[in-house]
Structure 1
Amino acid sequence: MLPRKLKNFMAYKGLGNQKRYQGQIPEIELPKLTRVLEEYRAGGMDMPVKVDLGQEAMEMTIKCGGHEADLYRDFARAGIDKVVLSYSGAYQRDDDCSVAAVDIYCRGRLEEIDPGSAKLGDDTEESFKYALAYYKLVVDGEDIIEIDAMAMKCIVNGEDRLKEIREAMGLFTTF
């Protein structure tokens, strides 16, 4: 069996009437999902183990093939999750030709604009880095991972991994 390889993708901004960046974005650095793990060793332990201290901050970078004024409009916008971005990729296996739809939905804020350099006759590229507060991975219509920092949710394959912690803290309960 051969692995699924990215054959094409599309990037979008906004909800509902989305702005589609067809032919304008040659590369996206997708969000890394990283847990903060810290070594812990106490008496009676032969070696340290790494304990989970939560999720690291997520970010995504969009690289444009030229100047895209629409992305500049989000600079210094208030709110940690006011910029809505999404990625739709088509991943195909070359042995059985099956295609998987991979969708990533994010909300965050524009953190950095790198306009690159301007040199006559050279190709141009601009980068936009977003700090994310929300992430959702959907593969072939199935929710795989959903991370919502403000709702303190981390749902993986349908299992809400932070539910018991929220309940112990009295969050999202009614009296």
Structure 2
Amino acid sequence: MSFPRKLKQMMIFVDGVGYAADTESVTLPKLERKLEKWRGGGLGRPANFDLGGGDDLTVEHSYGGPVRALIRQFGAPGMSDVQIRFAGSYQDDSTGQIHSCIITLRGRHQEIDRGEQKVGEAGSFKVKSECVYYKEEWDGVTDVEIDVLGMIEIVGGVDLMAGHRDALGLA
């Protein structure tokens, strides 16, 4: 019998600096495809066309208090000026095996929300970052890599955009 893998430990790195004790939570980007329904003659039901990647690669990360280094990155001019790396250890309680998940992102901060600050109470410090690069690795194997600016989208070792780059003369 197998049980789901559960996150047991995590850490956030921003531009190579680790925030183990500061990190409260992270909401990783959704991986989405934009699909459009089409029902032409001879089809009994609509079929979905794949129009490519979906919405933005947004990551939200929360900390126990203000992180000055992140504040200093606000307004970074380049779309990929800030690197964020999530490192998580997931454990299968049926076997005890621990799996490593590393998600590397590059982008810039869209929003810094300090929430309500009260003396003697834990405050919040939330950062929302929009990314143009996403790479997900499990136990050292890359499962997904998306480079928006490079027109690269690799899933399970297959580059879904290679043919398009070739057709446009970008390869």
Q: Is TM > 0.5 for Structure 1 vs Structure 2?
A: yes
Measured in 2, the distance between the counterparts of 1:155 and 1:10 equals 25
Measured in 1, the distance between the counterparts of 2:119 and 2:19 equals 25
Shift of 1:121: 2.9
Could you say which residue in structure 1 is the equivalent of 2:43? 45
Shift of 1:81: 0.7
Shift of 1:49: 1.2
Could you say which residue in structure 1 is the equivalent of 2:53? 55
Give ranges in structure 1 of 5+ residues lacking alignment.
none
Shift of 1:107: 0.2
Could you say which residue in structure 2 is the equivalent of 1:76? 75
Measured in 2, the distance between the counterparts of 1:91 and 1:139 equals 10
Shift of 1:53: 1.1
Measured in 2, the distance between the counterparts of 1:129 and 1:90 equals 23
Shift of 1:46: 2.0
Could you say which residue in structure 1 is the equivalent of 2:167? 168
Shift of 1:47: 1.7
Name which of structure 1's ranges 19-28 and 49-58 shifts more when overlaid on structure 2: 49-58
Measured in 1, the distance between the counterparts of 2:72 and 2:52 equals 32
SS at match of 2:69: helix
Q: Deviations over 1:40-75 (max 9, x none)?
A: 122222221111111121100110111111111111
SS at match of 2:40: coil
Could you say which residue in structure 2 is the equivalent of 1:116? 115
Measured in 1, the distance between the counterparts of 2:73 and 2:52 equals 28
Matched, 1:100 2:99: yes
Measured in 1, the distance between the counterparts of 2:119 and 2:38 equals 55
Give the alignment's Cα RMSD to 1 decimal: 1.0
Measured in 1, the distance between the counterparts of 2:52 and 2:71 equals 32
Task: Name the % identity.
Answer: 36
4+ runs of 1 displaced by more than 3 Å? none
Matched, 1:3 2:9: no
Measured in 2, the distance between the counterparts of 1:79 and 1:165 equals 25
SS at match of 1:23: coil
Q: How many residues align?
A: 169
Measured in 2, the distance between the counterparts of 1:63 and 1:103 equals 18
